[in-house]
């Protein structure tokens, strides 16, 4: 695998015009975040050696290099979900490659279902922690000792100082964001009412089908992580509404300007 990461990174290095410390993974409906990036290069996944190709609607599948908040960044517009049938090696492949390109900090975003009674549709939730209930672990198998340890410490998996800064960014701009635990399930079904209840009882605030594998692999390599969920539907009794993939995308588009604001300000204000 390491050879593949190196080959892909070697191919992409032609687009790295300046030191690159931030990698961004854009979730469902949040692809327009790239509009805020002063784009220098767009590379369709299909052109990138060894890259899987994304299939879900709303994920256009391209890698973008450019300036955000004054820093050169790379952004993955479209991710690979386990439920699509990709293996964990494929789901997390871009994160490994990012590390080989010099990334030290990763921002992940997603759409999620809220199960915290305080949640409203359209809330922005900073991910404070996660519960991994996807049935396959991305680090299962022989450990790549060159990249990270066998047993990865998961405390403060989501960088507390980045979260604090994001709260300040939102406060200063006059809007609120909440914080909570993201619970990852395999999907692709949305949850039953009983499952939403279970998620709430085991300590989840929001549920989704992505993000956690990429975060685990990033932490394996010592990358600092900032995660944000957009609450696109509610799973609690009395609050539950039926959702379609189109609605999830639509809500994502509505609150995206604030998510964009948080992400671009975080990159701009974060001190090296
Ligand atoms: N469940 C799982 N994944 C999701 C949801 C949900 O309710 N909403 C958006 N992604």
Query: What pLDDT, on a 0 to 100 scale, did the predictor assign at position 58?
Result: 47
Q: Is 26 in the pocket of ligand 1 (CB under 6 A)?
A: no
Tell me, using a 6 A CB cutoff, whether residue 252 lines ligand 1: no
Mean pLDDT for the chain overall? 91
**Ligand 1 atom nearest residue 209's Cα:** 3
At a CB cut-off of 8 Å and minimum separation 6, what does 161 contact? none
* Residues ≥6 apart with Cβ < 8 Å to 6: 100
pLDDT of residue 56: 57
Ligand 1 in reach of 234 Cβ (< 6 A): no
Output the residue whose Cα is nearest ligand 1's atom 9. Answer: 112
Spacing, Cα 59 to ligand 1 middle (Å): 16
Q: What is the radius of gyration, based on Cα positions, of the chain?
A: 17
Pocket test for ligand 1, best of 194, 232, 249 (most atoms within 8 A of CB): 232
Report the number of distinct structural domains present in the chain: 1
Give the DSSP H/E element, type plus range, for residue 212.
helix 212-220
Residue 129 confidence (pLDDT): 98
50 dihedral zone (left: phi>0; alpha: psi -120 to 50; beta): left
Pairing label, strands 124-132, 224-234: antiparallel
Residue 72: which domain range? 2-269
For the question of whether the overall pTM of this predicted structure is more than 0.95, the answer is no
Q: Does the beta carbon of 190 sit less than 6 angstroms from any atom of ligand 1?
A: yes
Nearest to 75 by CA among 51, 47, 116, 108: 108
- CA angle centred on 123, ends 130 and 158, rounded to 5°: 30
80 C-beta closer than 6 A to ligand 1: no
| Residue segments in the chain with a per-residue pLDDT below the cut of 50 | 58
Which tens digit of pLDDT belongs to each residue from 123-179? 999 999 999 999 999 999 999 999 999 999 999 999 999 999 999 999 999 999 999
CATH of the domain at 230: 3.40.50.1580
């Amino acid at each position: 695998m390491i050879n593949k990461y190196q080959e892909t990174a070697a191919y992409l290095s032609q687009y790295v015009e300046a030191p690159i410390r931030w990698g961004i993974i854009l979730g469902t409906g949040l692809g327009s975040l790239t509009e805020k990036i002063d784009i220098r290069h767009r590379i369709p996944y299909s052109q990138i050696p060894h890259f899987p190709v994304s299939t879900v609607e709303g994920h256009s599948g391209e890698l973008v290099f450019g300036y955000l908040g004054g820093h050169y960044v790379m952004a993955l517009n479209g991710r690979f979900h386990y439920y699509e049938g990709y293996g964990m090696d494929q789901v997390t492949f871009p994160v490994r490659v990012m590390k080989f390109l010099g990334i030290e900090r990763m921002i992940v975003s997603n759409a999620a279902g809220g199960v915290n009674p305080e949640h409203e549709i359209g809330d922005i939730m900073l991910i404070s922690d996660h519960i991994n209930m996807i049935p396959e672990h991305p680090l299962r198998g022989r450990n790549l000792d060159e990249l990270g340890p066998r047993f990865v410490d998961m405390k403060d998996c989501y960088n507390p100082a980045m979260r604090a800064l994001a709260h300040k960014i939102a406060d200063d701009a006059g809007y609120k964001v909440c914080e909570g635990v993201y619970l990852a399930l395999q999907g692709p079904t949305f949850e039953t009412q009983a499952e939403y209840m279970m998620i709430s009882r085991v300590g989840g605030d929001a549920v989704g089908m992505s993000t956690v594998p990429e975060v685990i692999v990033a932490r394996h390599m010592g990358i600092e992580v900032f995660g944000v969920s957009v609450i696109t539907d509610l799973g609690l009794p009395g609050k539950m509404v039926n959702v379609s993939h189109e609605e999830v995308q639509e809500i994502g588009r509505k609150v995206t300007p604030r998510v964009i604001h948080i992400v671009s300000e975080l990159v701009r204000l974060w001190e090296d």
